[in-house]
Amino acid sequence: MTLPGNQDQRGVSHVIVQMMDDLEDFFMGMGYQVVSGPEVEEDHYNFEMMNIPANHPARDMQDTFYINNELLMRTHTSPVQARTLEKHDFSQGPLKMISPGRVYRRDTDDATHSHQFHQLEGLVVDKHITMADLKGTLLALSKHVFGQDREIRLRPSYFPFTEPSVEVDVTCFRCGGKGCAVCKYTGWIEVLGAGMVHPNVLRNAGVDTDVYGGFAFGLGPDRFAMLKYGIDDIRSFYQNDLRFLNQFKQEG
């Protein structure tokens, strides 16, 4: 009767789950719906609907694991957007969605790459959508995740499913933009890619590009967590070391 009791240890959500939950709450607060889709995807939706036809060189950037000639492990969550675009009735209002989930690519595992990682993509399609709407959304996102004193900049880039396309940088949260080793003395850290939805993507889904346009963005919750918490090796997320994972206990 005098033996001390065994105290149960309370579990904690994985740091990536916490990051994804936080991002989902943020976007739902802005009126977005959360949509999921299959991880084993058709080539048609993963590539062709995203303006990446067969033998297009852009496929080299997203080499993945194939089940057969038509089925593969999805390389991004964009197929969910394509499937949703096909079904959406714009007479009922605009489309505002995010599609979080696991994706797969034939990357060599190292400190910053993994053959499996997480992605959260966003899509807004409506009348009169502009690049200003995109920048305002991403600025609000960056301030939410990295701090209210953060600023962003857009740099021209290339993605086959957006045009124009941009890389998005946020002011370094270690030095405040002054320049340090974390930001390689530039004052900026690249965080995600985005752009205006390519007309071919909308046409492939049967959307009238003379009436509707939109923007899209894609970010990695794994990378966001690495930047926010100063984690230098992505493999730490997947090694199940409780000493590492218990550092990220949720507040409250």
- CA 46/CA 55 separation, integer angstroms: 14
Residue type at position 153: R
φ/ψ of residue 219, rounded to 5: -135, 160
In a structure prediction context, what are the per-residue pLDDT tens digits for the chain, which is 252 residues long?
Answer: 788 888 777 777 888 999 999 999 999 999 999 999 999 999 999 999 999 888 878 777 777 788 998 999 999 999 999 999 999 999 999 999 999 999 998 766 665 567 888 999 999 999 999 999 999 999 999 999 988 988 999 999 999 999 999 999 999 877 878 888 778 889 998 999 999 999 999 999 999 999 999 999 999 998 898 888 888 888 888 888 888 888 887 654
Residue-level pLDDT at 19: 92
Strand partners, 72: 41, 66
Q: Where are the domains of the chain?
A: 15-146+210-241
Q: Helices marked H in 48-192 — which ranges? A: 78-87, 131-146
- CA 26/CA 106 separation, integer angstroms: 31
Radius of gyration over alpha carbons of the chain, in Å? 20
Residue-level pLDDT at 138: 95
To the question of domain 15-146+210-241 being in CATH 3.30.930.10, the answer is yes
Residue-level pLDDT at 111: 57
- CA 84/CA 123 separation, integer angstroms: 10
Whether 85 and 94 have beta carbons less than 8 Å apart is answered as no
Residue-level pLDDT at 163: 94
Whether 50 and 56 have beta carbons less than 8 Å apart is answered as no
